[in-house]
């Protein structure tokens, strides 16, 4: 796995699973063990040579073939580690299986908190992400559904997913994120798609410190207008927890309750919904957030008092599910939020729901 000093810590997913179990949320959901994504499944989107490199790569190769590794953006942020390909198979397989379960009509919501690797590009790794499980899941959904809406609430721009669907009108991507001197540096309001995809990419650049109320106001406005114009048949939501207050790499001021309200709003459309993880670098935040959003997805109320669980000490000193926001300054003025919203509404006026023949 990633080294102990790396910001990405996959143990966070185990923390979620432990809380889900202790809250007995497993009684309200169906737990599935998905298949491991195959190389051929990954190559539906990703470059063949890139996937083959991930299959063969080992940590000891980090000092060899530096030019090739640099080409694939393998390095400090996206390092080689023992079991890297198996890790990609597991995280990706969950999202593909989730999409397939929605396509079958047997389930209306699927969750893969290990997924959400929205930065990975078709030929290279990026931003702690190696294989873009979201793109592969959306491609699965497009086999059954005419139009898929993608909504991203990670603190970082969902650049890899946007780039994959930038020229199509069958997928609309919406990303709310920190913009400016902040990774990956893309996602300004004027990035709206190209060709057939013109106006089908939506970006809401935000400043530091946005609060639950301000976020929800712009989120509801943009998403409701997008759903009205695009009329999606299914939704994929990336629930990056780095938009929470006190995230190690984030800079927003959302609470777990506020973050969950965004998921609750998306759920209210009653469309097939795939929820995936994403960023989140304060472990206790991630455990709380995705456990709460599992409850939201299941329509279950859970106690604010955390049950005794593995890693319980990490939830000190409050040992509660919810916490108030910090007192950080909100640099998102009303004028800024209204101006960006107006520009997005104007772009969405040109959107119409396409009709395309479905292909196997």
17, 119, 157, 177: the catalytic one is: 119
Integer angstrom CA distances of residue 58 from 65, 229, 236, 241: 12, 47, 33, 30
H runs (alpha helix) in the chain: 11-22, 39-42, 48-56, 66-71, 84-103, 133-141, 159-164, 212-230, 256-267, 283-298, 334-348
- Flag whether 127 is marked binding: yes
Give me 257's structure tokens: 């309750």
Give me 209's structure tokens: 């410190």
Separation CA 10–CA 150 (nearest Å): 24
Separation CA 86–CA 66 (nearest Å): 23
With DSSP H G I counted as helix, E B as strand and the rest as coil, what are the percentages for the chain, rounded to 5? 40, 10, 50
For CA atoms 35, 116, 160, 70, the dihedral sign is negative
- Flag whether 154 is marked binding: yes
- Flag whether 77 is marked binding: yes
Instruction: For residue 35, indicate whether it is catalytic.
Output: no
- Flag whether 322 is marked binding: no
Separation CA 90–CA 36 (nearest Å): 5
Binding site residues, as ranges? 77, 127, 154, 156, 242, 281
User: Which residues are documented as binding site for substrate?
Assistant: 77, 127, 281
Binding residues for a divalent metal cation are: 154, 156, 242
> Which amino acids are annotated catalytic?
119
């Amino acid at each position: 796995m990633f080294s102990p000093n790396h910001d990405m810590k996959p143990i966070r997913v185990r923390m979620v699973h432990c809380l889900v179990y202790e809250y007995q949320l497993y009684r309200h959901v169906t737990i599935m063990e998905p298949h491991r994504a195959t190389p051929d499944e990954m190559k539906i989107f990703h470059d063949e040579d890139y996937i083959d490199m991930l299959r063969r790569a080992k940590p000891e190769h980090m000092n060899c073939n530096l030019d090739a590794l640099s080409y694939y953006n393998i390095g400090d942020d996206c390092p080689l580690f023992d079991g890297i390909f198996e890790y990609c198979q597991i995280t990706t397989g969950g999202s593909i299986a989730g999409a397939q379960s929605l396509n079958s009509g047997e389930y209306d919501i699927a969750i893969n908190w290990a997924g959400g690797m929205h930065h990975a590009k078709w030929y290279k790794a990026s931003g702690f992400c190696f294989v873009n499980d979201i793109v592969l899941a959306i491609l699965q959904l497009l086999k059954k559904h005419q139009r898929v809406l993608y909504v991203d609430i990670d603190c970082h721009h969902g650049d890899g997913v946007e780039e994959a669907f930038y020229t199509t009108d069958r997928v609309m991507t919406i990303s709310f994120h920190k913009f400016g001197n902040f990774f990956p540096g893309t996602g300004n309001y004027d990035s709206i798609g190209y060709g057939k995809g013109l106006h089908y990419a939506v970006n809401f650049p935000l400043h530091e410190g946005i609060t639950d109320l301000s976020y929800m106001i712009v989120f509801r406005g943009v998403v409701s207008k997008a759903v009205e114009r695009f009329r999606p048949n299914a939704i994929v939501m990336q629930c990056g927890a780095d938009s929470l207050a006190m995230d190690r790499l984030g800079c927003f001021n959302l609470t777990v309750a506020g973050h969950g309200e965004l998921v609750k709003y998306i759920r209210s459309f009653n469309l097939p919904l795939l929820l995936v993880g994403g960023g989140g670098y304060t472990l206790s935040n991630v455990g709380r957030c995705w456990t709460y959003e599992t409850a939201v997805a299941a329509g279950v109320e859970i106690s604010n008092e955390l049950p005794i669980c593995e890693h319980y000490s990490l939830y000190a000193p409050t040992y509660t599910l919810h916490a108030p926001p910090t007192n950080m300054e909100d640099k998102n003025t009303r004028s800024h939020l209204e101006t960006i919203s107006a520009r997005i509404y104007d772009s969405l006026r040109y959107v119409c729901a396409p009709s395309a023949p479905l292909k196997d």
